[in-house]
Amino acid sequence: MAAPQPRLRRPSVTRQVEQAVEPAVRLSKFVRRFGDNIVIDGLDLSIAPGEFVALLGASGSGKTTLLRTLAGLDSPGDQDVTTPDARAVVFQDARLLPWKKVWRNVALGLSGGDVRPRAEAALKEVGLGHRLDAWPGTLSGGEAQRTALARALVREPGLLLLDEPFAALDALTRLKMHDLVLTLWREHAPAVLLVTHDVDEAIALADRVLVLDKGRIAAEERITLERPRTPDARFQAIRRRLLGHLGVESAPAQAEGHLVAFPTGEVVL
C-alpha cells in the first residue's frame, strides 16, 4: 500500500503571500447614484500598496465622485470599500485656511508635542522650509499646492488621492510638481490615485492608467517605461491608445465636435 502523501501545510508562507498581495484599495461592483443619475455603475477597482494609478475620463464621468468615496468624504453605505485607514486628498485648489500660517495649515488636525517639527519637516520636503510662517495669501499657486502636498504627506497616508492637483498651474510649474510628486511617492510609498485630464501627465507618472467611462473602468494601460519618461515611440503608442479610449482619434491638435486634443496630450472633453 502506498504511503500516504504528506499534506502540504505551510500556513506561515501562505499568510505572507496573501498579505503581500492584499490590495490597498478594493471596490467590487461599486455603485454610486444621485437620485436617478447612476454615476458609478458596478465598478471593480483594485490598487496595490505603493502603486501609482492615474484615472482619466470625460468631465462628469464620476472621477471626483469615486475619489470622494475612497477618501471617506462620501459614505459607501453598506457596500464593501477597502482602503487604508490613513488617507489624504489634494484637490485642484489647495484649500488652505487663510487665517492660519503655512505651517499651521500643514499641522491641522495633528496632535502631540512634535507638531511643529513634523509640519516643518514636511514643508522642507516640498521645498518650502523658508515659508513656514508665511500667510497662505502670499503664496504662489505652485507653493500653495506644495503646501497642500505637505499637509497630505505629514499624515503618512497609505493612500494619497490627487484630484487634478496641477490643473491650475502653468506648464513649467506643473513639470516641477511632477518631479516632486514622484520623489515624495518614492520616499513615502503610498498607493496613489491621481485624477487628471492630461494624458501625458498620466503616462509620465503612473504605473497604470485607467479610463473611467459609463460608470466603469473602460480601459487600462500598464506603463512599464523607465522613469523619467520621455515621449519616445512607446510613450506615443500608449498615448494614441489612451486618446482612442477617450474618444479622440489622434494628436496633434485636432478638433472633432466638442473634443479637442492638444499636442501636449491634454484633452478637453
Reading the block at residue 25, the C-alpha cell is: 484599495
- Distant-in-sequence, close-in-space partners of 151: CB < 8 Å, separation ≥ 6: 88, 105, 106, 108, 122
Cβ atoms within 10 Å of 175's Cβ, excluding its own: 14
- Partner that binds at residue 42, options Mg ion, ligand ATP, none, CB closer than 5 to 8 Å by kind: none
Task: Decide: 149 and 128 in contact? Cβ < 8 Å.
Answer: no
Which residues ranging from 44 to 63 are in contact with Mg ion (CB under 5 A)? Answer: 63
By CB under 6 A, name the one of 23, 31, 65, 116 that touches ligand ATP: 65
Among 64, 105, 145, 196, binds Mg ion (CB under 5 A): 64
Determine, following the binding rule CB under 6 A, whether residue 60 of this chain makes contact with ligand ATP: yes
CB of 225 or CB of 268, closer to ligand ATP: 268
**105 Ramachandran zone, left/alpha/beta (phi>0; psi -120 to 50):** alpha
Q: How far is the CB of 106 from ligand ATP (least distance, A)?
A: 26
Task: Report the distance separating Cα 261 and Cα 267, nearest Å.
Answer: 5
Residues within window 104-143 making contact with ligand ATP, judged by CB under 6 A: none
The CA-based diameter of the chain, rounded to the nearest angstrom, is: 85
In angstroms, rounded to a whole number, what is the distance separating the alpha carbons of residues 112 and 87?
19
Residue nearest Mg ion by beta-carbon distance: 64
Q: Which of 39, 159, 169, 191 binds ligand ATP (CB under 6 A)?
A: 39
Pick the closer one to ligand ATP by CB: 7 or 34. Answer: 34
Chain residues binding ligand ATP by CB under 6 A are: 34, 37, 39, 57, 59-65
Chain residues binding Mg ion by CB under 5 A are: 63-64
